[in-house]
Structure 1
């Protein structure tokens, strides 16, 4: 919420909670994979942007979805801000510390996590090199996580990595001004 408030007047903001999270209703079907999640996000983007181009902002697991959407709809995505986003080189188990995919917290969303992870892994570069900012925690990141953030930055030839001093994984709540500044930078470059 703080990021949205910080962007008031700078951009039209639409916040998306996946079905079963935040303010969204529980999903109707089990086994939702990459195709279903991309279709859900595409419907949100279509509604919010009236088929125009967007800047996607994604935190943590949302990085998988933004990466897939940017790959599948390059004409609709002008830029991305990946905030402590999960990279497939780290994976859901490495990123969450869960012993199995069935024990990953988001398993309650009735997702096909194997399919989603495999789809995210298949995206190794983004067409048209959209503007990309990768926000990285300044505290507590191990080498595998840091290497994953470097891989995310390599998805586009027009990327920038910004370390947020003093922040941990929850940058959107710990340093919302850093997220808002990154969005404003991408909007300026994309516009």
Structure 2
């Protein structure tokens, strides 16, 4: 199932890289108009083809990729952007769903003149959006790397009792986002009190530009409102699929020969309120969903990355860089053979 190159790179040292710093050019706003004055933040580094575009997860930001950015930017051109409401980007124009996010990305690729097709690298819900984008706009996507991704049907492992346990906790988290949005709108959130208010904290030891970028998002209301809308529309409330997951299910298949790597965390994301038995049931469904994602392409490959939690790019940047390199080289090989 795995190419020799990918296998060798994935088996390389699992030692974590030293703490990384976000490239200074990615710490500053770089806004592109995508829709009558609504702007998204995007910046590209490096040279080469195909372009690799990164899609971060929920509660995510461009800095989530700083452990793999230098290696991939040395390999080919890389682009990083903030979804609407995140980072320096303007708020979304409509509820945050699979279709609205991929509509924005479609507009951004054209407005920023990012030459494609691109390799999309998506983490968590960003992997879900990347998969949706590849289904909706197949001519824009040359390959996919999905890092412990979300997927349509990811909650179908739950029993009725699981739903009764999960839902109050999900709704409590969503209410917290609304509470933080209210504080942000009133100008009451600061670097010093984010943790006290149970809003998104920012570490004290980051470079000034990275700190400024993160604080711009999490001390105002738009980030929390976008997170809330994303959560409400993505997570299922019962045995049925959510709005975003239904949108994904209604789309066509991926291109059959699409170069694709799906990486699963050796320790999948879980919730503290689940007992060990239900945690194991979730982990089995999570990994099975990733295996089935990889099988959507004849060129799909799935690997479990041991010694990694949900943020595989932080815990095992070598594995993520190996997967991206593998897909980039396969895309180049396909282009040369045409």
How high is the TM-score relative to the length of structure 2? Answer: 0.50
Q: Which of these residues, 123, 126, 134, is aligned with residue 254 of structure 2?
A: 126
TM-superposed CA distance for 1:53, in Å, is 0.8
Q: Give the 3-state SS of the residue equivalent to 2:138 in structure 1.
A: coil
Task: Give structure 2 stretches of 5+ with no counterpart.
Answer: 1-65, 159-164, 178-222, 235-241, 270-282, 333-338
In the aligned structure 1, how far is the partner of 2:108 from the partner of 2:166? 30
Q: Which of these residues, 78, 93, 106, is aligned with residue 29 of structure 1?
A: 93
Q: Give the 3-state SS of the residue equivalent to 1:150 in structure 2.
A: helix
The aligned residue for residue 300 of structure 2 is 159
Structure 1's consecutive aligned runs of 4 or more residues displaced over 6 angstroms after TM superposition are none
Indicate if the aligned counterparts of 1:58 and 1:81 stay in contact, CA closer than 8 A. yes
Count of aligned pairs between the two proteins: 188
Moved more, 80-89 or 156-165: 156-165
Q: Say yes or no: does 1:170 pair with 2:311.
A: yes
Q: Which of these residues, 17, 31, 39, is aligned with residue 103 of structure 2?
A: 39
TM-superposed CA distance for 1:115, in Å, is 2.6
Change beyond 3 A, Cα 1:108–1:99:
farther
How high is the TM-score relative to the length of structure 1? Answer: 0.84
In the aligned structure 2, how far is the partner of 1:19 from the partner of 1:93? 31
In the aligned structure 2, how far is the partner of 1:93 from the partner of 1:43? 35
Please, what is the CA RMSD of the aligned residues?
2.7
In the aligned structure 1, how far is the partner of 2:123 from the partner of 2:293? 13
Task: Give structure 1 stretches of 5+ with no counterpart.
Answer: none
TM-superposed CA distance for 1:62, in Å, is 0.9
Q: Say yes or no: does 1:108 pair with 2:173.
A: no
